[in-house]
Structure 1
Amino acid sequence: MISVATMPVGALICRRANQSTTMGGILVVSCSFRRFAFVVLAAGASTLAFSAQAFAQSADEADVADEIVVTATRQAQSLQDVPMSINVASGETLQKLNLFDIKDVQLLSPGLDLTNTGGRNNTATLRGIAFDPDQGTSPAVDIYFNEISVDAQTAFTAMYDLEQIEVLRGPQGALRGRTAPAGAITIRTRRPDLSEVNGYMQGTVTDRDAVNFQAGVSIPLVQDRLALRAAMLIDRNDLNQIDNVSRGASSRSTTESARLSLAYAPTDTFKAVITYQYLFAENDQFQQVVGAGNQPSLLDPARSGPPAEVADRIGVAEGPMNFRNRSHMVTLDANWDLGAHTLQLLAGHQDTLLRQRADQDFGNAIPGYVNLQDVRTPYKVDTAELRFASADRSFWNYSASLYYSKQTGDVTVTQDANQFFANDVPPTPFPASFGAFLPVEASILAPTYQRTFAIAASSSFQFTDELRFELAGRYSFLKTRQESFLTLTSPGFPGAGIPPFVQGPFNTVDPAIGTQKHDVLTGGANLTYEFSRDVTAYLSYGRSYRGPTAAVGSTAPLDTSLLLTRPEHSDAIEAGVKSAFLDRHLTLNLSAFWQKFDGYISRARGIYYSTERDGVVDGVFDFNFNGDAEVKGVEATLAGRWDAFDFSASASYVDAKFDHAMAPCNDFNGDGVPDADGAASVPVGEQVATCERNDRIAEQPKFSLTANAEYRFEIGDYEPFLRGLFTYRPGFSSTVANYDYRSRETLNLYVGLRGPDRRWEISAFAKNVLNQQRITSIGQGNYQTATVVPGIAFDSGYRLISSTTPREFGLTAQFNF
Structure 2
Amino acid sequence: MSRGKNFARHTLPRRVANRGVIMRRIEFKRSLGLGVALAGIWIPQAQAQAQSTKPDAAETVSTNDIIVTARRKEETLQDVPMTVTAVTDQKLKDLNLFNGSDLTAVVPGLTFSARTPGTTPVLALRGAARGEAGGRLDPTVQTYLNEAPVSDVMVYQALYDIGQVEVLRGPQGTLRGRPSSSGAITFTTKRPDLSRITGYVSLAASTLNQLRGEGAISVPIVEGKLAVRLAGILDRNENDGIRSLFLGRKPYQELNSWRASVRFQPVEELDINILYQDFSSKRGTLYQVAGTGYRGPSTPVNPVAQRLAANFNGPAISAFDRLSVSDSMAVREEYHQNLIGQVSLDLGTHRIVYVGEYNKTRNINSGGTNTGHFYPIPQPDPEPRQLDGRSELVTQELRFETTGATFWDYGVGLYYERTKSENIVDARVFFLAGTYGNPRAPSLNAFNYNYSLTLKGVFPVSWENKAIYANSTFHITPKTDLFVGARYVDYTQSSDQTGTLTQGLSATGAPVAQCAFIPQQGAGPAFASTFIPGQCDLPIAGRTLYTSNPIVGKEHAWVYNASLTHRFTDDITAYASFGHSWRPSTNNLNLQSTDPRITQFAVTKSETSNNFEAGLKMSFLDRKLSVNLAGFYQDYKGFLFSSIGVPYINNTGTALAVATATSLSTNADGKVKGFDIELAYRPSRQFSISGNLNYARGRLSNALVPCNDSNGDGIADSGVATVASFGTEAVRYCRSSAALAYQSDWNASMQAEYNAPVSSYTDGYIRTLVSYTPKNDFAPGPSGFSTEGYGLINLFLGLRSHDGKWDIGAYARNLTNVQKLVAQGVSEIATPSEAQSATALGVASSTGYRSVALTPRREFGATFRFNW
1:797 to 848, 851, 856: 848
Counterpart of 1:65? Answer: 63
- The 3-state SS of whatever aligns with 1:417 is strand
The answer to whether the 8 Å contact 1:421/1:787 transfers is no
The offset of 1:690, in angstroms, is 2.1
The answer to whether the 8 Å contact 1:713/1:719 transfers is yes
Structure showing greater radius of gyration is: 2
Of 450-459 and 315-324, the range deviating more from structure 2: 315-324
The answer to whether the 8 Å contact 1:51/1:758 transfers is no
The answer to whether the 8 Å contact 1:296/1:794 transfers is no
1:706 to 745, 749, 752: 749
Counterpart of 1:195? Answer: 195
Tell me the distance in 1 between the aligned counterparts of 2:107 and 2:364. 31
Tell me the distance in 2 between the aligned counterparts of 1:351 and 1:62. 45
Q: Where does 1:138-217 land on structure 2 (aligned, <5 Å)?
A: 138-217=138-217
Counterpart of 1:785? Answer: 831
Counterpart of 1:484? Answer: 497
Distance 1:680 1:141, change over 3 A: farther
Tell me the distance in 2 between the aligned counterparts of 1:215 and 1:435. 48
- The 3-state SS of whatever aligns with 1:250 is coil
Root mean square deviation of aligned Cα: 2.7
- The 3-state SS of whatever aligns with 2:397 is strand
Q: Where does 1:414-425 land on structure 2 (aligned, <5 Å)?
A: 414-418=426-430
The answer to whether the 8 Å contact 1:563/1:624 transfers is no
- The 3-state SS of whatever aligns with 1:385 is strand
Q: For structure 1, list consecutive stretches of 5 or more residues without a partner in the other structure.
A: 1-49, 423-429
Tell me the distance in 1 between the aligned counterparts of 2:402 and 2:720. 65
Counterpart of 1:122? Answer: 121
Tell me the distance in 2 between the aligned counterparts of 1:679 and 1:523. 45
Distance 1:178 1:782, change over 3 A: same
Q: Deviations over 1:172-192 (max 9, x none)?
A: 111111111111110111110
Counterpart of 1:409? Answer: 421
Tell me the distance in 1 between the aligned counterparts of 2:568 and 2:693. 25
Q: Where does 1:652-801 land on structure 2 (aligned, <5 Å)?
A: 652-677=694-719, 683-715=726-758, 716-734=760-778, 736-788=782-834, 793-801=844-852
Tell me the distance in 2 between the aligned counterparts of 1:433 and 1:450. 49
The answer to whether the 8 Å contact 1:390/1:399 transfers is yes
Distance 1:296 1:373, change over 3 A: farther
Of 186-195 and 679-688, the range deviating more from structure 2: 679-688
The offset of 1:672, in angstroms, is 3.0
- The 3-state SS of whatever aligns with 2:601 is helix
Counterpart of 2:563? Answer: 526
The answer to whether the 8 Å contact 1:419/1:787 transfers is no
Q: Deviations over 1:32-82 (max 9, x none)?
A: xxxxxxxxxxxxxxxxxx999524999976633243011111111101110
Q: For structure 2, list consecutive stretches of 5 or more residues without a partner in the other structure.
A: 1-23, 32-54, 298-305, 435-441, 509-517, 524-539
- The 3-state SS of whatever aligns with 2:104 is helix
The offset of 1:435, in angstroms, is 8.7
Amino acid at match of 2:166: E
Q: Where does 1:302-381 land on structure 2 (aligned, <5 Å)?
A: 303-368=312-377, 372=384, 374-381=386-393
Distance 1:678 1:507, change over 3 A: closer
Counterpart of 1:648? Answer: 690
The offset of 1:589, in angstroms, is 0.5
Tell me the distance in 2 between the aligned counterparts of 1:633 and 1:416. 47
The answer to whether the 8 Å contact 1:292/1:306 transfers is yes
Tell me the distance in 2 between the aligned counterparts of 1:637 and 1:61. 20
The answer to whether the 8 Å contact 1:593/1:633 transfers is yes
Amino acid at match of 1:522: V
Counterpart of 2:605? Answer: 566
Tell me the distance in 2 between the aligned counterparts of 1:607 and 1:101. 34
The offset of 1:249, in angstroms, is 2.0
- The 3-state SS of whatever aligns with 1:622 is strand
The answer to whether the 8 Å contact 2:141/2:181 transfers is yes
Q: Deviations over 1:791-814 (max 9, x none)?
A: 984311111112212110000011
| 2:588 is aligned with 1:548 | no
Q: Deviations over 1:634-665 (max 9, x none)?
A: 11100122311122211111110001222222
Tell me the distance in 1 between the aligned counterparts of 2:821 and 2:103. 20
The offset of 1:704, in angstroms, is 0.3
The answer to whether the 8 Å contact 1:122/1:156 transfers is no
Tell me the distance in 1 between the aligned counterparts of 2:66 and 2:79. 10
The answer to whether the 8 Å contact 1:280/1:324 transfers is yes
The offset of 1:604, in angstroms, is 2.2
The answer to whether the 8 Å contact 1:122/1:133 transfers is no
Amino acid at match of 1:727: S
Q: Where does 1:610-649 land on structure 2 (aligned, <5 Å)?
A: 610-612=649-651, 616-641=657-682, 642-649=684-691
The offset of 1:266, in angstroms, is 0.1
- The 3-state SS of whatever aligns with 1:266 is coil
The offset of 1:460, in angstroms, is 0.3
- The 3-state SS of whatever aligns with 1:664 is strand
The answer to whether the 8 Å contact 2:331/2:368 transfers is no
| 2:114 is aligned with 1:110 | no
Counterpart of 2:527? Answer: none
Distance 1:459 1:679, change over 3 A: closer
Counterpart of 1:85? Answer: 83
Counterpart of 2:8? Answer: none
Counterpart of 2:307? Answer: 299
The answer to whether the 8 Å contact 1:412/1:445 transfers is yes
Tell me the distance in 1 between the aligned counterparts of 2:715 and 2:444. 34
Tell me the distance in 2 between the aligned counterparts of 1:638 and 1:816. 31
Amino acid at match of 1:119: G
Count of paired positions: 758
Q: Deviations over 1:684-708 (max 9, x none)?
A: 3222222211121222211100121
Tell me the distance in 2 between the aligned counterparts of 1:471 and 1:816. 43
Distance 1:304 1:52, change over 3 A: farther
Tell me the distance in 1 between the aligned counterparts of 2:272 and 2:59. 27
Of 795-804 and 390-399, the range deviating more from structure 2: 795-804
The offset of 1:307, in angstroms, is 2.2
The answer to whether the 8 Å contact 1:196/1:220 transfers is yes
Distance 1:324 1:192, change over 3 A: same
The answer to whether the 8 Å contact 2:284/2:331 transfers is yes
Counterpart of 1:278? Answer: 278
Distance 1:687 1:282, change over 3 A: same
Q: Could you state the TM-score of these two structures normalised by the residue count of structure 2?
A: 0.83
- The 3-state SS of whatever aligns with 1:795 is coil
The offset of 1:365, in angstroms, is 3.4
- The 3-state SS of whatever aligns with 1:202 is strand
Q: Deviations over 1:216-241 (max 9, x none)?
A: 11111111111111111011112222
Counterpart of 1:444? Answer: 457
Distance 1:758 1:494, change over 3 A: closer
The answer to whether the 8 Å contact 1:466/1:531 transfers is yes
The answer to whether the 8 Å contact 2:101/2:112 transfers is yes
The answer to whether the 8 Å contact 1:115/1:122 transfers is yes
Identity, % of aligned positions: 29
